[in-house]
């Protein structure tokens, strides 16, 4: 082993005025030394604490730098044996073919302000089924306060400092354990902490999509994903969803005609329909993905909110070829205000996403990351989920019971086994625009299915959220919706009598 006692810093010089994080300056400096032949194969790098002291940084900063070098195949390390330089690869390091960055222009303008308007539209007098949020009274505010009170003593000054772009190492380790316990393969180096799942979707679009790429989506699908993809300027192709999720049998002939860049899917308690993809369809989908080299972006934010039925493996768990990149969030299970989500996938893809992340916001709020780390490592999240499941199941049942009389008006709906939503279909004699107008008069809000559609085919549907409201408020909202439905039907009949022409919604 070479003697580094004379140069414990490896000749590294850090510039704290640069926007490049310190851990990345360290990894880049060591990388240059390895590729230039200055740091030979077999050389043991300084221990994390020694290098951290010599450079005047936190040990976690050096640890993140070493992990990045390990992800790139430049070094290897084991507890008790240190970290050493590997022989240089004979070919340039490349990510798996499924996750190569797309060239060309990206991120076109977007003008649809719907999500912003929904977040700003809540009033005390409106019964809103529109937003997909947890019950405010079930957010564990007291536990959050207790964790925040003790974190300064437990974590120290690091609580108020920058974290690595990929996330606080302790959180990535706790999250990897959490995912593995759910049967989802994950290593800390395969995880990027994001500001909610929405940022994860945005980063994937920034790195892997270019204008005119074809992206397959479920029809209908999550409106936030549609906004991200449309902003990227891609061509969206919808694949229908039924009660067993994505209709995979329609995917195979589609793959023969087009060469999609990506498939975006929510196999577990899909938003907006609440559908769960069956196990045979999941397996068939992965077979097709491998045959056609189709990258899959799997969103799984509702998987823990299960009320009944068996737990099915995620697509990431069925993915031996690293075709799947998974996006998740704690907003639905814990607290949306913390804005903690993640991307879990091939380490090389995570590395590219982290580089893109630096141009957005450097990293997720450090203090929020530590709060979630404590929830995970101390088993608090698991206990919280066990608490909210029966409460949300009761609210789902209350909504379904309240809807039952509306079947006489021709309304039909799903019965989800988990998640946040009931998906409703209007009868043919009630138009969605007219119902929306009547609902506004009655003081009840819902999400129109049209905004969840890639091709405009869901013109007779609406999404109802049941988690945010207590049962009595759910019943009041359905009573208002019932009056709106009757008024919309009456308007339709009057229009028929007067000879009014109805144009189809496209």
Please state, in angstroms and rounded to a whole number, the distance separating the CA atoms of residues 423 and 240.
14
> What pLDDT, on a 0 to 100 scale, did the predictor assign at position 453?
93
- Closest to 454 in 3D by CA, of 236, 265, 262: 236
Q: What is the 3-state secondary structure (H, E, C) of 100-115?
A: CCCCCCCCCCCCCCHH
Nearest to 503 by CA among 441, 495, 449: 495
pLDDT score, position 303? 95
Q: Residue 401's pLDDT is what?
A: 98
Which helix H or strand E contains 240, and what residues bound it?
A: strand 235-242
H helices within 404-470, ranges in order? 432-442
For residue 34, what pLDDT is reported?
Answer: 84
CATH C-level class of 139-382 = alpha beta
Contact present, 23 and 64 (Cβ < 8 Å): yes
- Show Cβ contacts of residue 39 under 8 Å, excluding neighbours closer than 6 positions: 10, 30, 33, 45, 85
Residues (pLDDT < 50) of the chain are 1-3, 5, 89-95, 105-119, 121, 496-506
Look at residue 70 in the predicted model and tell me its pLDDT. 83
- Residue 478 near residue 406, CB atoms below 8 Å: yes
DSSP three-state, residue 286: helix
Coil, helix or strand for 27? helix
CB within 8 Å of 493: residues ≥ 6 apart: 429
Kindly report the CATH class assigned to 22-85.
mainly alpha
CATH architecture designation of domain 385-497: Alpha-Beta Complex (3.90)
Q: 45: Cβ–Cβ under 8 A, 6 or more apart, which residues?
A: 4, 10, 30, 39, 51, 66, 75, 82, 83, 84, 85
Could you please report the per-residue DSSP string of 152-177? HHHHGGGGGS---TT--HHHHHHHHH
Instruction: Report CA-CA distances (Å) from 466 to 50, 277, 400.
Output: 54, 21, 9
Q: What is the tens place of the pLDDT at every residue in 96-136? A: 557 777 655 444 444 444 444 444 545 678 999 999 999 99
Q: How many CB atoms lie within 10 A of CB 390?
A: 10
Spans of all domains in the chain: 22-85, 139-382, 385-497
Element (H, E) at 324: strand 324-329
Backbone angles phi, psi at 411, to 5 degrees: -75, 140
pLDDT at residue 315 in the model: 97
What are the Cα distances from residue 416, in Å, to 95, 250, 346, 364?
38, 23, 31, 33
**Residues 6+ away with beta carbon under 8 Å from 420:** 132, 269, 271, 274, 302, 305, 332, 392, 465, 466, 467
Phi and psi based region of residue 11 (left: phi greater than 0; alpha: psi -120 to 50; beta: remaining): left
């Amino acid at each position: 082993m070479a003697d580094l006692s004379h140069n414990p810093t490896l000749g590294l010089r850090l510039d704290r005025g640069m926007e490049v994080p310190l851990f990345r300056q360290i990894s880049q400096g060591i990388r240059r030394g390895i590729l230039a032949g200055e740091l030979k194969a077999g050389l043991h790098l300084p221990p994390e604490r020694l290098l951290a002291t010599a450079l005047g940084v936190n040990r976690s900063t050096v640890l993140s730098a070493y992990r990045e070098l390990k992800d790139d195949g430049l070094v290897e390390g084991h507890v008790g044996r240190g970290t050493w330089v590997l022989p240089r690869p004979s070919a340039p390091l490349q990510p798996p073919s499924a996750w190569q960055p797309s060239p060309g222009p990206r991120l076109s303008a977007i003008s649809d302000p719907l999500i912003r308007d929904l977040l700003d539209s809540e009033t005390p007098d409106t019964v809103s089924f529109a937003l997909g949020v947890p019950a405010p009274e079930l957010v564990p505010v007291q536990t959050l306060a207790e964790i925040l009170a003790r974190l300064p003593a437990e974590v120290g000054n690091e609580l108020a400092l920058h974290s690595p772009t990929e996330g606080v190492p302790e959180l990535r380790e706790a999250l990897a354990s959490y995912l593995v316990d759910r049967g989802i393969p994950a290593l800390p180096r395969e995880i990027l902490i994001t500001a909610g799942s929405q940022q994860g979707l945005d980063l994937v679009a920034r790195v892997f999509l270019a204008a005119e790429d074809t992206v397959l989506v479920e029809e209908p699908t999550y409106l936030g994903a549609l906004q991200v993809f449309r902003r990227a300027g891609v061509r969206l192709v919808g694949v229908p969803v039924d009660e067993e999720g994505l209709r995979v049998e329609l995917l195979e002939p589609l793959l023969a005609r087009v060469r999609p860049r990506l498939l975006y899917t929510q196999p577990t308690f899909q938003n907006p329909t609440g559908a769960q993809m069956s196990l045979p369809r999941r397996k068939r989908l992965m077979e097709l993905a491998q045959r056609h080299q189709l990258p899959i972006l799997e969103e799984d934010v509702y998987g823990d909110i299960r009320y009944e039925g068996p737990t099915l493996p995620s697509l990431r768990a069925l993915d031996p070829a690293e075709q799947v990149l998974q996006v998740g969030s704690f907003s639905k299970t814990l607290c949306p205000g913390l804005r903690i989500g993640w991307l879990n996938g091939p380490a090389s893809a995570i590395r590219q996403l982290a580089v893109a992340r630096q141009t957005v916001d450097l990293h997720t709020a450090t203090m929020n990351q530590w709060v979630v780390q404590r929830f995970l490592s101390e088993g608090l999240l698991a206990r919280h989920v066990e608490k909210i499941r029966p409460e949300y199941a009761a609210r789902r049942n209350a909504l379904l019971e309240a809807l039952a009389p509306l079947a006489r008006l021709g309304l039909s709906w799903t019965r989800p086994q988990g998640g946040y939503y009931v998906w409703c279909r209007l009868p043919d004699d009630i138009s969605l625009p007219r119902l929306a107008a009547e609902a506004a008069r009655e003081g009840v809000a819902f999400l129109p299915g049209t905004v969840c559609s890639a091709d405009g085919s869901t013109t007779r549907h609406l999404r109802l959220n049941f988690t945010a409201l207590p049962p009595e408020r759910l019943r009041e909202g359905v009573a208002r919706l019932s009056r709106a439905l009757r008024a919309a039907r009456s308007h339709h009949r009057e229009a028929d009598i007067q000879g009014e022409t109805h144009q189809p919604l496209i």
